[in-house]
Structure 1
Amino acid sequence: MAKTSDFPTLTADQLGDELLKLKKEQFNLRFQRATGQLENTARVKAVRRDIARIKTFAQQKKRADQAKA
């Protein structure tokens, strides 16, 4: 996974790929929690926050591109 400090330097496609990867991880974590197999419960919160960060950076890039056009 990319570091949070790397998010502003990623392209929109790379942010989308990272978002997809995190959403898949979140899905898997939910199933692990439901079946009682989840070891690291803090990871659920971390993934949710990373998803929010990526969405924020993607929105900022989109607005910046619109302002340039």
Structure 2
Amino acid sequence: MRIICRHCRAQLSRDEYFWFHDSCVPCETYRQVAAEERKVWIKSPLFAFCLTRFQMRRARHAFSSWLRNANIV
């Protein structure tokens, strides 16, 4: 049975199929790097303060959207 990567259609080894859930090593490393880059998007200390200070979802989103609309962040 031939097992292929669901992203780039490359043929997978048994270890890649087992450990990376149908992804080859290059696709999996790309996905991990992309996920880490999505996490790091805080531009200013004020925005970081807003994320840590306002834990309630509605207040946090309201304050962060106000910061973005006011071009402070």
TM-score by length of 1: 0.35
* Higher helix proportion: 1
Larger radius of gyration: 2
Structure number with higher relative contact order (C-alpha < 8 Å, ≥ 6 residues apart) = 1
TM-score by length of 2: 0.33
